[in-house]
Amino acid sequence: MKKIFVVGIGPGEAAYMTPAAGAAIAESDVVVGYTLYVELVRDLCAGKLVESTPMKKETDRCRIALEHARKGRTVAFVCSGDAGVYGMAGVMCEVAENDPDIEIITVPGITAACSGAAVLGAPLIHDFAVISLSDLLTPWETIEKRLLLAAEADFVICLYNPKSMKRRDHLDRAVEYIAKSRSWETPCGYVKNIGREGEYSRLCTLRELKDNEDIDMFTTVFVGNSGTRVINGRLVTPRGYQI
Amino acid sequence: MKKIFVVGIGPGEAAYMTPAAGAAIAESDVVVGYTLYVELVRDLCAGKLVESTPMKKETDRCRIALEHARKGRTVAFVCSGDAGVYGMAGVMCEVAENDPDIEIITVPGITAACSGAAVLGAPLIHDFAVISLSDLLTPWETIEKRLLLAAEADFVICLYNPKSMKRRDHLDRAVEYIAKSRSWETPCGYVKNIGREGEYSRLCTLRELKDNEDIDMFTTVFVGNSGTRVINGRLVTPRGYQI
């Protein structure tokens, strides 16, 4: 059977990539991915054909993977974090829709919600929502509605893509929506460059997420629920155990 | 510094446990955990003191870990999946609140939302909410409110603890709430015993999640959003790329 592995390599450091991800790359003839991610697994690519493409060429990358698979080559398509959370596993299935003889296998990885939460402590211990603030592919009205309802539901909220070069004010607007049903003093936190050189994290309040120049496109943001608190410098959402 | 690692070992199979999790166990003098999870890492426990306790004794397990750490022993407290998603990382921080000299380090793992999504295809490619249907520690009214609002927000919804021996009807009630703002034909799926012997998955509609005797307490359930569809037997939520 022809195979494309869509592989989540985790945050970047080898210590957080699963053996299953390494095995999928080892089994493959071709490694496809965004240049930066391919560099993170360069050690595993010896003797393989490597096809790296610049950012934003997502469907092109899928087509390259598909072409190799059609020729009978096993392909590892690498993504950072989890291939199934805002990753390439979905669009790869869409692009290969007319090739039912090619098996698409998702190899999960540690997504930023989980790796970032670990850095901050334990914010995701109770029900949570994950929302991307990128409006490149999603109408802003949809994002806004999700923010409002997630806040109303008292979910812990994890925000991906809080800012970009072109979108400086999305996080500020998101914080305003969340604050409609959550205290400005809600404990929050954010982590930059998770599991990579320059990893940096900070705890703050919901108010301090606004007008925050420190947060950039490589940052993952966590907003606590109504019970989240800071214990010995760690952001902790209680599950409800009697202590 | 005195240390307790709260370690997510992933779904069970060694291929899905990160090297960081293995290293934390290797560095520890004592391994603490629920009996079943300790068995999954038994190979790594040679020469270590192992303290396994039966289910539901979560705070007792934390106190055992704390007592060892107070005596200067490095502890690995093992959890299945991710230690930070409905895991022990939170309650461990709470139990150790008066011991600020003990460092609590969360080691993330692959949570069932991610490992289950990979088995089904790519359902979590867009914004999603994770909700536990267990009302042991959370009032049912809170769970109900979250289900209603998550459905209204068109989140993909991942349900943990859909049933237990005592709670047979929670999933049926959850499905009724979700159906208030989502079609009964919405593509859904579920996975049992993820990454363990007897792994089994099935795609179905929202309607078919109701009165479903196949789903048990070891199952993770996925409800698609309004755009989720089945492509070559895989559950896929589009991100919005032009194909």
pLDDT digits (tens, 9 = 90+) for A116-164: 999 999 999 999 999 999 999 999 999 999 999 999 999 999 999 999 8
Structure tokens at A169: 């004010």
Q: Find which of B61, B82, B142, B160 to mutate to test the A interface (most A CBs within 10 Å of its CB).
A: B82
Q: pLDDT digit of tens for each residue in chain B (243 aa)? A: 899 999 999 999 999 999 999 999 999 999 999 998 999 999 999 999 999 987 778 899 999 999 999 999 999 999 999 999 999 999 999 999 999 999 999 999 999 999 999 999 999 999 999 999 999 999 999 999 999 999 999 999 999 999 987 878 999 999 999 999 999 999 999 999 998 888 999 999 999 999 999 999 999 999 999 999 999 999 999 999 988
Q: Are strands B187-192 and B200-205 parallel, antiparallel or unpaired?
A: antiparallel
Contacts of residue B79, defined as CB under 8 A and 6 or more positions apart, other chains included, come to B6, B7, B8, B9, B33, B34, B37, B87, B88, B89, B109
Q: Where are the domains of chain A?
A: 2-107, 112-236
Task: Classify B200 as helix, strand or coil.
Answer: strand
Three-state secondary structure readout of B101-144:
CEEEEEECCCCHHHHHHHHHEECCCCCEEEEECCCCCCCHHHHH
Q: Domain B112-236's class?
A: alpha beta
Nearest to B90 among A152, A153, A236 (CB): A236
Chain A closest-CA separation from residue B212 CA (Å): 24
Q: Are B2-107 and B112-236 the same fold in CATH?
A: no
Question: Are B188 and B206 contacting, i.e. CB atoms less than 8 angstroms apart?
Answer: yes
What's the pLDDT at A24? 98
- Low-confidence stretches of chain A (pLDDT < 50) are none
Q: What are the respective helix, strand and coil percentages of chain B, to the nearest 5?
A: 30, 25, 40
CB distance A232–B146 less than 8 Å?
Answer: no
CB distance B109–A114 less than 8 Å?
Answer: yes
Chain A residues in contact with B16 (beta carbon < 8 A): 18-20, 108
What's the pLDDT at A195? 84
Give me the residues paired with residue A75 across strands.
A4, A30
What's the pLDDT at A160? 98
Chain B closest-CA separation from residue A148 CA (Å): 9
| Architecture of the CATH domain A2-107 | 3-Layer(aba) Sandwich (3.40)
